[in-house]
Amino acid sequence: MSKIEFSPVEKEVLITQIQAYFNAELNQDIEQFDTEFLLDFFTDKVGAYFYNKGLADAQAVLEEKVDNIKEAIYEIEQPTEFSRYLQSEKRK
């Protein structure tokens, strides 16, 4: 996995949100440098968990879509003697 990195604009938005959280919830002002350090820490130590969860969620969505496609293909399949033979074999 490559290192999780944010663009300067994304980083600035995240820093602003962290500072707002500290101010609103903890009644503490946190300086820019400390906020960047905290963001880097969480990105390095916790980011992979969020990244992996996002991948698992994406994989679940993809699997559901593939199942839907398989079902749609099965529905338009034309019957043949061979497909009837396979169906009769499954029943045995």
Task: For 35-49, write each residue's pLDDT tens digit.
Answer: 999 999 999 999 999
- How does residue 1 score in pLDDT terms, banded at 50, 70 and 90? low
The reply to whether the predicted model has a pTM over 0.85 is no
Cβ atoms of residues 16 and 38 within 8 Å: no
Helix (H) or strand (E) holding 17: helix 8-26
pLDDT tens-place string over residues 57-81: 999 999 999 999 999 998 898 888 8
Band the pLDDT of 89: cuts 50, 70, 90. Answer: confident
For residue 62, what pLDDT is reported?
A: 97
Q: What percent of the chain has pLDDT over 70?
A: 98
In the chain, the amino acid numbered 30 is: I
pLDDT for 87? 76
d(CA 73, CA 16): 49
In the structure encoding, which two tokens stand for residue 36, read together? 């960047």
| Token output for 51 | 């990244």
Residue 19 in tokens = 């500072």
Q: Does an H or E element contain 33, and which? A: helix 32-45
CA dihedral 82, 87, 88, 90 (to 10 degrees): 130
